[in-house]
A = this chain, B = another copy of it.
Amino acid sequence: MDFYFDFSSPYAYFASTRIDALAERFGRVCRWRPMLLNPAFQASGNVRLIDQPMKGAYARHDWDRMSRLMQVPYAFPDPFPVSTVAAARAFWWLDSIDPILAKKLGRALFHGYFAEARDISQRDVVAAIGAEQGIDPAQVLGAVDDPVWKAKLRHETEGAIASGVFGAPFIVVDGEAFWGVDRLWMVGEWLERGGW
């Protein structure tokens, strides 16, 4: 099962705190697949939530109550949204070496941005957060500039869009797609029943 997201999505952050436990409960491993939402929004005609009249106000309120409901630390970050190119490239580099550690980095990046107000669009911040997880910051900075990981992120984003991903979090279980943290209960139903 695949977890598509952009590190700048509050709903994806909330989902990231539960998705692995949910997968494990059903003997599954969840692959984290960071991508860039902007191209997906362009392809699907979507607009960023906070730029939408009415829906933007609803979303801001909803993020606050979702953090309380899920008991996940959260503060609306400033700036928001941010470019997550550096964060995603660092993730994909590390994933190629150590997927477990890559998820640990991913969780730390989400937490840094949404709970600690750290601007993860800055490569130095990404490297510092990595260093706190025991990852060599020089290697992180190298990966961010490496054409291999630039291409990987572009390829992942294009592949996600080709698979129908238009928002985040987007969770695909055996080809079945579920959009939104408010649908984790449906993902659980699907895993438990093997579809319906």
**Which residues of A approach B to under 8 Å, CB–CB?**
43-47, 52-55, 57-58, 61, 65, 68-69, 161, 164-167, 176-177, 179-180, 182-183, 185-186, 189, 196
**This chain: how many copies in the complex?**
2
Out of B161, B164, B189, name the residue touching A58 (CB < 8 Å): B164
- Nearest B residue to A44 via CB reads B54
Query: What B residues does A47 contact at CB under 8 A?
Result: 45
> How many whole Å from A171's CB to the nearest CB in chain B?
12
A177: which B residues are within 8 A, CB to CB? Answer: 58, 61
Nearest first, the 5 A-B pairs at minimum CB distance are A44-B54, A54-B166, A44-B53, A68-B196, A55-B166
Contact A166 B58 (CB under 8 A): yes
Query: How far does the alpha carbon of A58 sit from the alpha carbon of B170 in the complex, in Å?
Result: 11
Q: Which residues of B contact A55 (CB under 8 A)?
A: 44-46, 166-167
A74 to chain B, nearest CB (A): 14
